[in-house]
Amino acid sequence: MRNTQSSSLRRQRLIEAAHQVFSDLGYEGATVASITARAQIATGSFYRYFPSKEACFLDLLDTLYGELMRAVLAARARGKDAEEKLLLSVEAAVTSFLAQGPLARLVASSRHGAQPAVRARVQTVAGEMARLLARDFDELADGSRSPLEVLAAGQFLVGGLETLLDGVLAEEPPPPPGDILPVVRRLTIGMIGGFRNAR
Amino acid sequence: MRNTQSSSLRRQRLIEAAHQVFSDLGYEGATVASITARAQIATGSFYRYFPSKEACFLDLLDTLYGELMRAVLAARARGKDAEEKLLLSVEAAVTSFLAQGPLARLVASSRHGAQPAVRARVQTVAGEMARLLARDFDELADGSRSPLEVLAAGQFLVGGLETLLDGVLAEEPPPPPGDILPVVRRLTIGMIGGFRNAR
Amino acid sequence: MRNTQSSSLRRQRLIEAAHQVFSDLGYEGATVASITARAQIATGSFYRYFPSKEACFLDLLDTLYGELMRAVLAARARGKDAEEKLLLSVEAAVTSFLAQGPLARLVASSRHGAQPAVRARVQTVAGEMARLLARDFDELADGSRSPLEVLAAGQFLVGGLETLLDGVLAEEPPPPPGDILPVVRRLTIGMIGGFRNAR
Amino acid sequence: MRNTQSSSLRRQRLIEAAHQVFSDLGYEGATVASITARAQIATGSFYRYFPSKEACFLDLLDTLYGELMRAVLAARARGKDAEEKLLLSVEAAVTSFLAQGPLARLVASSRHGAQPAVRARVQTVAGEMARLLARDFDELADGSRSPLEVLAAGQFLVGGLETLLDGVLAEEPPPPPGDILPVVRRLTIGMIGGFRNAR
DNA sequence: TATGAATGAGAATTCATTCAT
DNA sequence: AATGAATGAATTCTCATTCAT
């Protein structure tokens, strides 16, 4: 039986299926067959949309992180100073995470996947965000902290949020987003304040 | 060519190889062959030491996390209050991480491995640490924060450190441990202070 | 080189190859590779048709014994009394054996395979036939023989035929079926008569 | 800890263990390790007594069949005519089988083992017995039956007994030998009488 | 263009056999 | 002579990718 929907609709279904399956099973656990089954297309059709499983994953990752980054950059633009930028960035990132569903897991699950290319991209992409935030931390401290320290702060914030959201989303049932955001905001505010005051 | 070193030496080499390879490639990416190759033993010999790849990984994880937890608990015992306990815990954890080498990667890489048993154990083990810290955060706030918030704080701290150390250890060349610890200490102090003051 | 025959043809070739190879080498001796090589398909293709080597074997066994049993039951229906039923059963069984080719070996080769599931099924299936014949022996003796004795008679007849046919088919060249059937018939008649008269 | 029993005692224990394990698990299912474990000797010591697993099996087979054959030949010598010889042969064979314990299974389990050498030997050895009996059948019929028919009769008798004993010994609990022998005797007498009268 | 069967390179694991002690 | 750890070839099964239809 031939499926006759528009190509873009099929592509959309495939991307959603991939997102879901990668998030549930991780990069290694997800099989092309499991993705196409969920998308209700034939196995072979996968390769009309993506040249490989890896490319699909990277595409997905880029898309999702792209959205995230766009949201973050848009939100940051409204901030007057480093502190506001940081907080707005985090709020935007968390909102985007929560809206995208299981992205947090996807990223977390792939940080060290077997495929060097996958690993590298995930780290690149997470590193970018960390460096973005690191610049705010640097500004926050008027350049008085070492490069290592501001980068560490950025990584700490990114990783802390990633883990927090991942853990929170894994709960059964997951708490409503409305409960999560204030908690994240307070933690971030606290960390920012702490960073400024520390030593 | 038959390798005739003492059994305990071979075992040690195997464990180190497994640690290294699991850390580099993740649970899925690591093959038994890659581990035995690095340990310079025959494939089949792996199974004289571990009943399966999974058991090897879990063994390693339990051992490393056991050491970590022991170090943390011992350090905490010297703390007078929640704040001191938190800080001492983090210092001990980081010191242990840095001493153990690539443990951070190992944990991070396995948080979402495909094998349910592996995944579960990693999350259990990381969750334990987060809950331990969460109790400190609860005490720090005199019980004035919601369970979600204190747990989130614990997860945030654990995940933040995990990611930070992972990122830092991935740098070429990695900064000397002596540089890392003060940075981590200040970040933790900051976060603790921030958590107390927030809202 | 991609093999592009109709699926049912490939399946048929695979089943025949499995039949042949299992019969030649026994359950343990047969490897999936040896079966697929004979069927001229790729190793992995085996698993499109059967979920496992064991399932393939059991499938084959059930199919062949199913045919055998159907033939036997159909033939028996034409018998007026226990003696006729026995003789017709044996004739049908032997005819079916001879037509199916190496079934006898397959059963014989697997009576005590290492796999418990395989062993159990073979014994069940052979036991069923023995019990069917045992009922005839019971009737033949008007219930005057012990359960052990009638069951033994059934087993004796089944095993005797199995071995006989196996031995005969192993000869080079094998005698024409036309020569075998009368021999078997006379032996069976003899055994039946002997059973009735004994003691 | 060094085991310091006499070599012949160790050999005996090993042979008994091999007999037991081969009978329980079949040729393929039995591992050298399972045999040495049961014999309470080291794996490597197996090879002081037998050059290979296969040789061990064949040795065992030859020994057991040798005993059987000796018992049969001794018993036959007391028979006046073919009928008596047949009956005495069968009684001796069954008695020997029952005394040797699980030999029947061992033979049955190996009729079609994977190893060509194993297979061949089992068939040779069972074939010898069948041919011995076939000579009696020939004599019984005054040479009036075809070579195929008398050989078939021998095979039928051997296989029938093999299967019968195998089945009977597999029962839980196995019937006492005292119950089995009369049943076998009557079946044999019946078969002999039937053979003589048939056609 | 969509399909899904076919492919075959690997992966984990077993086990007969060897050999340093 | 006895031991048992070490070896590595072989086995079953998986799955990303290809390609005839």
CATH number at residue B81: 1.10.357.10
pLDDT of residue B106: 66
Both tokens assigned to B112:
């979402």
**Full-model pTM:** 0.87
The pair phi, psi for residue B40, each rounded to 5°, is 60, 45
The rounded percent of chain C whose pLDDT value lies above 70 is: 91
Regarding whether C75 and C46 lie in a shared domain, the answer is: no
User: Of B1-5, B190-194, C27-31, which range is least confident?
Assistant: B1-5
In this complex, do C149 and D186 lie within 8 Å of one another by their Cβ atoms? Answer: yes
Of C9 and B18, the structure prediction assigns the larger pLDDT to: B18
DSSP-derived secondary structure for chain B: ------HHHHHHHHHHHHHHHHHHHHHHH--HHHHHHHHTS-GGGHHHH-SSHHHHHHHHHHHHHHHHHHHHHHHHTT-SSHHHHHHHHHHHHHHHHHHHSTHHHHHHHHTT-S-HHHHHHHHHHHHHHHHHHHHHHHHHTTT-S-HHHHHHHHHHHHHHHHHHHHHHHHSSSPPPHHHHHHHHHHHHHHHHHHHHH--
In this complex, do A194 and B199 lie within 8 Å of one another by their Cβ atoms? Answer: no
Regarding whether B177 and B143 lie in a shared domain, the answer is: yes
pLDDT band at C24 (very low <50, low <70, confident <90, very high): confident
Regarding whether D148 and D69 lie in a shared domain, the answer is: yes
Instruction: Please name the residues between 5 and 44 in chain C that touch chain D, using a CB distance below 8 Å.
Output: 25-26, 28-30
pLDDT of residue D112: 57
In this complex, do B127 and A167 lie within 8 Å of one another by their Cβ atoms? Answer: yes
| Chain C residue with minimum CA distance to D194 | C190
The chain-wide mean pLDDT, for chain D, equals: 86
Domain final residue pick, C50, C65, C85 = C50
User: Of A50-54, A71-75, A135-139, D187-191, which range is least confident?
Assistant: D187-191
The answer on pLDDT for D168 being more than 60 is yes
Regarding whether C168 and C84 lie in a shared domain, the answer is: yes
d(CA C57, CA D56): 29
Looking up residue D1, the CATH number of its domain turns out to be 1.10.10.60
Q: Which tens digits make up the pLDDT trace of D99-124? A: 876 555 666 666 655 566 777 787 78
The answer on pLDDT for A113 being more than 70 is no
Regarding whether A151 and A129 lie in a shared domain, the answer is: yes
Regarding whether A26 and A85 lie in a shared domain, the answer is: no
With distances taken from each CA to the C1' atom of nucleotide E11, the closest residue turns out to be: B31
Regarding whether B183 and B140 lie in a shared domain, the answer is: yes
Q: Which residues contact A99 (CB under 8 A, 6 or more apart)?
A: none
Number of independent structural domains in chain A: 2
pLDDT of residue A106: 65
Domain final residue pick, D50, D65, D82 = D50
Both tokens assigned to B45:
């010999």
Q: Which tens digits make up the pLDDT trace of D13-42? A: 999 999 999 888 888 889 999 999 999 999
Instruction: Please name the residues between 113 and 172 in chain A that touch chain B, using a CB distance below 8 Å.
Output: 113-115, 123, 126-127, 130, 146, 148-149, 151-153, 155-164, 166-168, 170
Q: Does A111 touch chain B (CB under 8 A)?
A: yes
User: Of A64-73, A167-176, D41-50, D106-115, which range is least confident?
Assistant: D106-115
Regarding whether C81 and C13 lie in a shared domain, the answer is: no
The answer on pLDDT for C122 being more than 60 is yes
Regarding whether D79 and D22 lie in a shared domain, the answer is: no
The rounded percent of chain C whose pLDDT value lies above 90 is: 46
Regarding whether B36 and B68 lie in a shared domain, the answer is: no
Q: Which of A41-45, A163-167, B20-24, B93-97 has the highest mean pLDDT?
A: A41-45
**Cβ-based contacts (< 7 Å) between C 17-46 and strand F:** 30-33, 43-44, 46
Regarding whether B158 and B186 lie in a shared domain, the answer is: yes
In this complex, do B194 and A199 lie within 8 Å of one another by their Cβ atoms? Answer: no
d(CA D133, CA D153): 8
Amino acid at A86: L
Is C178 near strand E, with its CB below 7 A from some atom of it? no
Chains D and A touch (3+ CB pairs under 8 A): no
Nearest beta carbon to residue D26 from set C113, C123, C183: C113
Domain final residue pick, B35, B50, B65 = B50
**Cβ-based contacts (< 7 Å) between D 1-60 and strand E:** 30-33, 43-44, 46-47, 52-54
Regarding whether C78 and C36 lie in a shared domain, the answer is: no
The nearest CA of chain A is from the CA of B182 a distance in Å of 9
pLDDT band at A109 (very low <50, low <70, confident <90, very high): low
The nearest CA of chain D is from the CA of C24 a distance in Å of 8
From the CA of C121 to the C1' of F18: give the distance in Å.
39
Q: Which residues contact A150 (CB under 8 A, 6 or more apart)?
A: A134, A135, A137, A138, A141
pLDDT, mean of residues A7-19: 89
Q: Which tens digits make up the pLDDT trace of B79-107? A: 999 999 999 999 999 988 888 766 656 66
C-beta separation of A165 from B161 below 8 A? no
pLDDT of residue C71: 93
pLDDT of residue B121: 81
Quote the domain boundaries for residue C2.
Answer: 1-50
